[in-house]
Structure 1
Amino acid sequence: MLSETELLYTLALQRVKNLGDISAKKLLRTVGSAEGIFKEKKHSLLKIDGIGSLKLKGLSIEEQLPAAQAELQFIKQNNIVYTYFLDPKYPEKLKHCLDGPIILFENGNIDLKNRKIISIVGTRKVTTYGTSFCQKLIETLAPLNPVIVSGFAYGVDITAHKAAMDCGLQTVACLAHGLNQIYPKSHKKHVTSVEENGGFLTEFWSDDPFDRNNFLKRNRIIAGVSEATIVIESAEKGGSLVTADIANSYNRDVFAVPGRATDTQSQGCNNLIKSNQAHLLNSAEDLIYMLGWELEEPQPLSQQKQLFVEFTPEEQKVFDYLNTKQKELLDTIALECGLPTFKVATLLLNLELKGVVRPLPGKLFEVI
């Protein structure tokens, strides 16, 4: 944790208008501290690769001190938790994003360490189908205990937060403003529940205005803290598509729920899928498989695939066929092996339990 003095200087550095998080991190890693940056000669800072005079404009502690002192006072008076980008508690996945904030502020009981984390975003004008899909998705994922991240806005965002809390999951709301206010105001009734089941995360100060650019800037945190971003519904243009684009730039998985070509609120998702910017998401099973969550925990040695496995004659027949194909549909396996589909389904389950076959989305099976 930063000392109070270093926190003050870090806040002042964050306030330098033209600097940005990428350049601020470069300065901090080179000089070693925010206080040192303000006390260093500017001609020395200009020798750092990528640091120009425009970025250093406003790098004056006298200019930034009043606002930084006021924000420090707000943090202390309201017991705001802050996390510096070099702290162990800073969101691990966000550490790998070059433009991640140098400092984050939070309320609640957020725990993003060693957790399955997904972001769910979408239109504010969510349809009944979108709401139902979101709720079902989270209910199915609940046994895996993921953290559900979103932006606390109308529509898909608040649906995801509420569904997570209904399932006893941690949920994190990333805000585009300071922790002294809530937008939209109608969501104030959810604040206590979110804080008890996760919390609020932001890089913005208590005096930052409601600005469209802040909402777009906030989206990189939603994308950055998670391993995958899911777009439930989106029109042809929208903030959730910006989040998806950012997630792709971070080399994170992006999923989109398809819809009818005539549905306005599905156009954005359909375009993401069509342009190969998102995996098609039909169910929670698709997500689980693509992220490899079912394979995350190593199996005990006794449950791992054995070198010599005993099969019944019918199991051997199904296994030999699948071994030649590596991957095949259930109905095709049944047809080619001359066995009823229900019988093959049972045989495949037995082979799965023996550790030689695994199911894939869409009634596909493959040899391990």
Structure 2
Amino acid sequence: MNTKNDEHLYSLALSLIPKIGPSVYKNIISYSGSAQNFFNLAPGKAAKIPRIGSKLLELLRQKNQYLAQAEKLILQAEKLNVKILTYASTEFPKRLKSIEDSPSVLFVKGNIDLNANRLLGIVGTRNATDYGKTVTRKIIEEVAPFQPVIVSGLAYGIDIEAHRAALQHDLPTVAVMGSPIDKIYPYQHKNTAEQMLETGGLISEFRPGSDMVPGNFPQRNRIIAGLSDALIVVEAAKKGGALITAEIAFSYNKEIFAVPGNLQSPYSEGCNQLIKTMKANIYLGTKDLEEALSWSKGSEDQENQPVAFSLENISDEHRPIIAAFLENPEQQIDQLSWITNIPISMLASSLLQLEFMGLIRSLPGKTYKLVK
């Protein structure tokens, strides 16, 4: 194997080790520089990495077992025409890299650009009313000139309505699945899922052949929230997946919109409550999206345009940090440490200085954003 494929193998193997969740995984990458480096560390050096306990070090001694599992999984994915994106992959969604609890590995099927300029999440109740379905189709029709990727969850109700409307308007659409990538759920949506593969597709953090667990579905909602530049909740009851997704998006500092509904409809209670508590803006039309996201028809949104910024007046100490922000204007500190190869303790001090200089600003979740 060449070095690139070796790193892909080691990154996948690292994700297969029990007790290594997304945050520990990213912590390891940040301190080691790469998954391959971590596997080759002496036990004494590995033990110095924060959050690495004795049980994890014991599992690390079984690295050949996890590398073999990773090789098997890569072959399995190739047979299914599934692409594996690890946190170290260049194609891994940049929007998720800035989120602490985002997955360390994604399984992807179809032709998806997960780093497209505009990603719009649309979610809602599984028990959609005629009003909710009509509004969903209307939203898709009105946003079509802006050419966003439509993100939803392939569930009954609002989700599948959003996917199908996107297909009708030739918009790429992505389903974030709560099931393994090789198991379409619900099965009744299999035809729609297959149609989505041409210009969009399916993504899951659950590897092929794994079991379907009810808890997977609430868990996948954080991916919908993290991928979306803005989230529109069309219909939602007092409790349910759509409200969970909205709450997560709120914690990620995303733009959230809720469609107001009939006060007597139980499936509008959630939306109306989001508006009342000011966790979501009221959605009245695409003008709201244009203003919130600086969208304009026929051109890329300003948020994802390259920032006009010169490195000439930046000190050598801060130059690699600003250069990383120019590649991706929003960065999570662990990811930034990995990119710049600057220890987190030193990086935190530099980020504070840059914030005082008015060049960046801090966001929730140990995330920083370049100021234009």
TM-score interval for Structure 1 and Structure 2 normalised by the shorter chain: 0.7 to 0.9
Change (3 A) 1:298 1:233: closer
Once residues 301 and 170 of structure 2 are traced to their aligned partners in structure 1, the CA distance between those partners, rounded to angstroms, is: 25
Report if the CA contact (8 A) 1:18-1:56 is conserved.
no
Deviation string for 1:212-253 (max 9, x for gaps)? Answer: 221122111111111111111111111111111111111111
Once residues 87 and 71 of structure 1 are traced to their aligned partners in structure 2, the CA distance between those partners, rounded to angstroms, is: 16
1:73 pairs, out of 72, 75, 81, with: 75
Once residues 51 and 23 of structure 1 are traced to their aligned partners in structure 2, the CA distance between those partners, rounded to angstroms, is: 8
* 2:189 paired residue number: 187
* 1:40 paired residue number: 41
Report if the CA contact (8 A) 2:293-2:301 is conserved.
no
1:133 pairs, out of 132, 135, 141, with: 135
Once residues 287 and 57 of structure 1 are traced to their aligned partners in structure 2, the CA distance between those partners, rounded to angstroms, is: 51
* 1:105 paired residue number: 107
Residue identity matched to 1:274: K
* 2:368 paired residue number: none
Deviation string for 1:192-215 (max 9, x for gaps)? Answer: 210013111122101221112211
* 1:328 paired residue number: none
Report if the CA contact (8 A) 2:233-2:257 is conserved.
yes
Matched ranges for 1:11-50 at <5 A: 11-50=12-51
> 2:231 is paired with a residue of what secondary structure?
strand
Report if the CA contact (8 A) 1:165-1:197 is conserved.
no
Corresponding pairs, count: 299
Once residues 222 and 65 of structure 2 are traced to their aligned partners in structure 1, the CA distance between those partners, rounded to angstroms, is: 28
Residue identity matched to 1:117: L
Report if the CA contact (8 A) 1:216-1:242 is conserved.
yes
TM-score by length of structure 2 reads 0.74
* 1:294 paired residue number: 296
Residue identity matched to 1:26: N
Once residues 3 and 134 of structure 2 are traced to their aligned partners in structure 1, the CA distance between those partners, rounded to angstroms, is: 44
Residue identity matched to 2:242: S
How many percent of aligned residue pairs carry the same amino acid?
A: 40
> 1:289 is paired with a residue of what secondary structure?
helix
Once residues 173 and 65 of structure 1 are traced to their aligned partners in structure 2, the CA distance between those partners, rounded to angstroms, is: 29
Change (3 A) 1:86 1:66: closer
Matched, 1:221 2:223: yes
> 2:296 is paired with a residue of what secondary structure?
helix
* 2:89 paired residue number: 87
Once residues 55 and 177 of structure 2 are traced to their aligned partners in structure 1, the CA distance between those partners, rounded to angstroms, is: 29
TM-score by length of structure 1 reads 0.75
> 2:125 is paired with a residue of what secondary structure?
coil
Q: Which runs of 5+ in 2 are unaligned?
A: 303-372
Report if the CA contact (8 A) 1:109-1:195 is conserved.
yes
* 2:11 paired residue number: 10
Q: Which moved more, 1:70-79 or 1:257-266?
A: 70-79
Once residues 57 and 23 of structure 1 are traced to their aligned partners in structure 2, the CA distance between those partners, rounded to angstroms, is: 16
Once residues 296 and 41 of structure 2 are traced to their aligned partners in structure 1, the CA distance between those partners, rounded to angstroms, is: 51
Residue identity matched to 1:101: P
Report if the CA contact (8 A) 2:11-2:88 is conserved.
no
> 2:144 is paired with a residue of what secondary structure?
helix
Q: Which has the larger radius of gyration?
A: 1
Please state how far the C-alpha of 1:257 moved relative to its aligned partner: 1.1
* 1:151 paired residue number: 153
Change (3 A) 1:258 1:74: same
Deviation string for 1:329-368 (max 9, x for gaps)? Answer: xxxxxxxxxxxxxxxxxxxxxxxxxxxxxxxxxxxxxxxx
Q: CA RMSD in A?
A: 2.3
Report if the CA contact (8 A) 1:19-1:56 is conserved.
no
Report if the CA contact (8 A) 1:177-1:206 is conserved.
no
* 2:251 paired residue number: 249
Please state how far the C-alpha of 1:186 moved relative to its aligned partner: 0.6
Once residues 124 and 68 of structure 2 are traced to their aligned partners in structure 1, the CA distance between those partners, rounded to angstroms, is: 39
> 2:190 is paired with a residue of what secondary structure?
helix
Please state how far the C-alpha of 1:47 moved relative to its aligned partner: 1.6
Residue identity matched to 2:30: R
Please state how far the C-alpha of 1:263 moved relative to its aligned partner: 1.1
